[in-house]
């Protein structure tokens, strides 16, 4: 089976840096996604990691360690609009399994 764990909620201050962790135990692994989802909307793609290491894309970075079954999403210079749910998803056998998501609240 697939087991993906993320913290349920996190709170951070505008302008700060926040790291959202994701651990996984899956029967197969082809890559790991991070998505952002605002309430009532569909997810939007943030990043995709296949190999170990850090992928940087503007204010957002994603890290993967396949040997540890671990990833994190790093958000810098937080803005109020970053308040959303962040979903970690593992790709295997041509499909993706999603974690329960981390609700991030950015406060002024």
**Choice from 27, 42, 51, 67 touching another protein (CB under 8 A):** 42
* 52 scored as a contact of another protein (CB under 8 A): no
Cα–Cα distance measured from residue 107 to residue 96, given in angstroms and rounded to the nearest whole number: 32
* 97 scored as a contact of another protein (CB under 8 A): yes
* 94 scored as a contact of another protein (CB under 8 A): yes
Give the H/E segment covering residue 88. strand 84-92
Q: Around Cβ 7, how many Cβ atoms within 10 Å? A: 15
Cα–Cα distance measured from residue 74 to residue 64, given in angstroms and rounded to the nearest whole number: 12
Cα–Cα distance measured from residue 96 to residue 25, given in angstroms and rounded to the nearest whole number: 13
Output the smallest distance, CB 17 to another protein, in A.
Answer: 25
* 43 scored as a contact of another protein (CB under 8 A): yes
* 51 scored as a contact of another protein (CB under 8 A): no
Say how many residues touch another protein, by CB under 8 A.
21
């Amino acid at each position: 089976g697939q087991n993906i764990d993320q913290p349920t909620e996190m709170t951070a201050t505008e302008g700060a840096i926040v790291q959202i962790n994701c651990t996984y135990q899956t029967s197969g692994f082809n890559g790991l996604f991070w998505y952002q989802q605002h309430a009532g909307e569909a997810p939007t793609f943030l990043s995709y990691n296949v190999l170990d290491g850090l992928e940087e894309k503007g204010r957002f970075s994603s890290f993967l360690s396949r040997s540890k079954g671990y990833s994190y999403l790093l958000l810098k210079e937080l803005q109020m609009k970053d308040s959303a749910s962040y979903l970690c998803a593992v790709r295997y056998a041509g499909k993706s399994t999603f974690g329960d998501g981390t609700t991030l609240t950015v406060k002024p």
